[in-house]
Structures are given as structure tokens and as C-alpha cells.
Homo-oligomer: A and B are copies of this chain.
Amino acid sequence: MFMDFFNAIPVKEALQIITKLANDYKMDTEIVSLVDAIDRIVAVDYKASANLPQFNRSTVDGYAVMIQDVQSASEASPSVLNVIHEVTMGEVVTETLITGQTVYVPTGGMLPGNSEGMVMIEYTQKLDDGSVSIHKSVLYGENISYTGDDLTQGETYITAGKRITAYDLGLFASMGVGKVEVYRKPVFSIISTGDEIIGIEEEQALGQIREINSYALGGLIKQLGGDVHTCRIVKDDFECMREALKVCLSSSDIVLISGGSSVGAKDYTRNVIESFNQSQIWVHGIAIKPGKPTIFGQIDGKLVVGLPGHPASALVTFSLFVKRYFLTIQRNHQEVVHIQAELTGSVYAAPGRETYQMVQLSRKDDLWEAIPLYGKSGMMTLLAKASGYIKITIEKGEFVKGTLVDVYLLKDLTL
């Protein structure tokens, strides 16, 4: 029996190694304008510079009242109050209510002193300029947003490592923060190796295939929020690969080398990495299917990943390990959403390897169905159909048809 050239380590151990390397990596930060900050990862904690709201506000259009004046008010027996003022938006209100008085306040307007509740305009009737009938009681504090209800001065409202959502932008804006300190976008380079690989614009001869991984990986990187600096196609030649790697290292945080990491006559990736000073091979081989011949190396503290050449394998390896590194160097640890779905066919782990099976999701009544996508290795149409994947651990071994399984979405989502 032919033996493996390398020792495949468990997925869990590979994840621990990549996480440690990421924690040791020093990422720079930069200041971006709030309008450019969506989906970026915050580099420092942000604390409220003032209370939010800064004054007691009404949350409805209506009348500010003291409870004692309206507690018995009803449709049949309304309370009549004197309207002493109508607040306009942005006005600093100086009035204070005494019993029998009310003030009209629009949504978001400042409340007069002694306001105990806001009666919505729908439950009132203006009688004349100076009086209004109130047809419903309110509870203490009803329809009022008090100073500091939303945020208290000094309270942390965004924590370092959080990916900025649309609503976080709203929080920053409400605090008057127009520029935000975020981690610089991690920069990737992608080197595709193979004598048979040609570029997208080249004339294709029989036997040649077009380079696709830099496009697919580049798309995943952009969706994550990274930048792709350089993409190169190089022949399976030690010197060509070494030169390409040297150039890419100078301008990138992470270099991905696609192809060239499986056991074969032309597998230079490991040797090329090791030919640099200050280099280290951390992982060569992971007990995973697909993706076994994966390499994690480092040169001068920068991550170099040898990804399998097969698109499906490159994708799984990227999604599990490179993505973890990408998020961890930005101190982001948010949970990935996965959804439950019912398997429409049984799936099995490869012997001794944690297995990732691509599935297509389909809605069936109240459930999602996960349809396993079987097909020959490297089929792009299969990958393009995939919604996500399920994980079959070595211990589990299989999931039979009808089981509810967790589907990890390919274009995923953090909470």
C-alpha cells in the first residue's frame, strides 16, 4: 500500500494552530468615514459621549399629561385639560405642567417638566385653541423616552472586534461619531500553479484549462471584506513559484497558493515556503474531505496557505481555516449562522476524515430540505448550485436520510 507523505492532523487541531497564528499577528488599524464603515471590523471600544436621548422625549404625537388628571378618562367620560403650549420640533421646552394642564408634543419633541405620560393624539379631541378632551388613561412613563434610556454617558456601545451593521452606523451617528477606527482590510495575494493552467484572456489549446480559483477565492475574499492585491498564474517550477511568492509577500497579509500541495511529482509549495529564511511549516495535511493536502506555513510572520487545486476543496479549506484567520487577526469572534434542514439522502464520512458535504437548500412547507450534491470532483456547476455544507465528524460517521442537520451557509452571516 502506498503511504501518505505527510501526517494529516484533525480539523480541531488545525483550527487551534490557525487561531494561535492569527492571535499573534499584529494588524494595523485605520480611520474611515462613517459612510464607508459598513461591514468593517471595529478596532477599539466606543463609549457614549453623552446620554441618549439627551432629554426626555415623546415617542408619539400627542399630549403630555400628569397621571392624576387622566386616570379615569375614557371614551364615555373624557377628561378636559388646558393646552398651555404646543411644542415644536427642536424647541427647548421651558414649561412645567401643573394639574389640569397639558402640552401638545410631537414625536421626538421635548417634554415639559412634570410630564408623567403621553396620550396619543388618536385618543384625544381638540375642543378649541385652549382645551383638549382626553379619552384614555396612560401608565406612568407611557410613550416617554427618558434621558439616557437608550445609552448612558460612558457606557460602551460598540465593542472592538464587532463587524459594523447598518444599525451600528445609526448608533455612531447618534453619538456624533463621523469617523471610526477599524482594522485595515486584510490584503490577499493568490498564486495559481500548474503547467496546464491558462489565464482568462488566453487562447485555449486542447489539454489546457482556465484558471478559476483566483476568481472564486477572490469573490469569497471580497464578500468577507478583504482586498485582493495580486493574482498570478505560474508554472510548476521552483524558481517561478519562489519569485511569485516573494513579490506577493511584500504587499500582502496572506498569500494563497492554489494547486501544488497534493502529493505528486510537481508539488513545490512546501519546498518553496521552506526555502525562505524565517519560514515555518505549521501544518501539512488535515484529516478532512475535501481539502486533505492543505499547508499552513509562515514566512516572516505572514501566513502562506497551500490550498488544494480542486475548486470544492479550495473552497472548504478557505471557508474553514483562512476565514477563521481573517476574522481572528481583526479580533472578530462572532458566531456564524447555520440553519437546520432535513436531509433528503444519507451521507457518509470518508474513513478517518471529517467530511464536508455540499448541499442545496430548498424550502418545503415549514422546513428547509438539504439536498446532498453528489458529483465528480471539481465540477463547477455543482459548486454553483450549493447553498452550504454539512459537517460529518469522524465519530458521527453518517447522517441518514430524514435527519435534521445543521447547514453552514456558503455566503454566511454573523449575528
Contacts and interface: CB of A to CB of B under 8 A. Distances in A.
Interface string A128-161: 0000000100000000110001110000011000
Nearest to A52: B380
B168 A384 contact: yes
Contacts of A39: 222-223
B135 A1 contact: yes
14 contacts: A2-B123, A38-B223, A90-B194, A90-B208, A121-B263, A166-B315, A167-B410, A170-B212, A171-B381, A173-B210, A173-B216, A176-B200, A335-B363, A411-B413
Given A1-B123, A89-B194, A411-B165, A173 B263 contact: no
Contacts of A223: 38-39, 166
A275 interface: no
Contact of A176 (B75, B204, B381): B204
Question: How many identical subunits does the complex contain?
Answer: 2
Contact of A124 (B2, B144, B311, B384): B2
A219 interface: yes
A110 B207 contact: yes
Interface string A195-220: 11100110011111111110111111
Given A52-B380, A89-B266, A167-B380, 8 more contacts: A1-B75, A145-B377, A150-B379, A165-B410, A166-B218, A167-B216, A176-B204, A413-B413
Given A165-B411, A209-B53, A363-B335, A215 B173 contact: yes
A320 interface: no
Interface of A: 1-2, 34-35, 38-39, 52-55, 59-61, 75, 88-93, 106-110, 121-125, 135, 144-145, 149-151, 157-158, 164-178, 194-197, 200-201, 204-213, 215-220, 222-223, 228, 236, 262-266, 309-311, 315, 335, 337, 339-340, 361, 363, 366, 376-384, 386-387, 406, 409-413, 415
Given A150-B381, A339-B339, A381-B150, A178 B196 contact: no
Nearest to A157: B381
Contacts of A204: 54, 176
A92 B294 CA distance: 29
B386 A167 contact: yes
- Report which residue of A337, A377, A380, A406 has the largest number of chain B beta carbons within 10 angstroms of its beta carbon: A380
A206 B94 CA distance: 12
A149 B264 CA distance: 25
A69 to B, nearest CB: 19
Contacts of A197: 90
B205 A384 contact: no
Nearest to A145: B376
A292 to B, nearest CB: 11
Given A222-B38, A363-B335, A172 B209 contact: no
Given A107-B309, A110-B207, A170-B384, A263 B61 contact: yes
